Amino acid sequence: MAWIILVVSGALEAVWATALGKSEGFTRPVPSVVFVLGLVLSMAGLAFALRTVPVGTGYAVWVGIGAVLTATYAMLFDGESAGLLKLLLLAGIVGCVAGLKLTH
C-alpha cells in the first residue's frame, strides 16, 4: 500500500510543480489553489509512505516520478523541446526508479 501511495504522491508532485509554474507568482487563483492542494496531498502521501519505505529510496522515487511527469507534461502541452537525448535521459530516470523499487 505504501508504494501505491508513494507513486500517487509522485504524480501529485508533478501536479503542484506544473500548477506553480502556471500560477505566475501566485497571481492566478485557480493554479494557485491547485498548487496548494497538490502540495499538501503530495507531502501527506510521501509522509505516509515513508513510514514503511526507507527515506532515501522513497524520496528518490517520489522526486523521480514527479520530475519525469512534469517534464513530459511540459513537452506535450507547453512547447518544451523533446529531443532524443532528453527522452533517453528521462527514460533513464524511469529505469532507476523501477530499479529502486526492485531492490527494496
Comparing CA positions, the residue from 82, 89, 66 lying closest to residue 19 is 66
pLDDT digits (tens, 9 = 90+) for 7-28: 999 999 999 999 999 999 999 9
Distances (CA, A) of 54 to 24, 29, 46, 51, 58: 35, 36, 11, 8, 6
Rounded CA-CA distance 45/14 in Å is 14
pTM of the model: 0.92
pLDDT tens for each residue of 39-81 = 999 999 999 999 999 999 999 999 999 999 999 999 999 999 9
State the sign of the Cα–Cα–Cα–Cα dihedral 9, 15, 18, 24: negative
What is residue 103's predicted lDDT score, i.e. its pLDDT?
A: 86
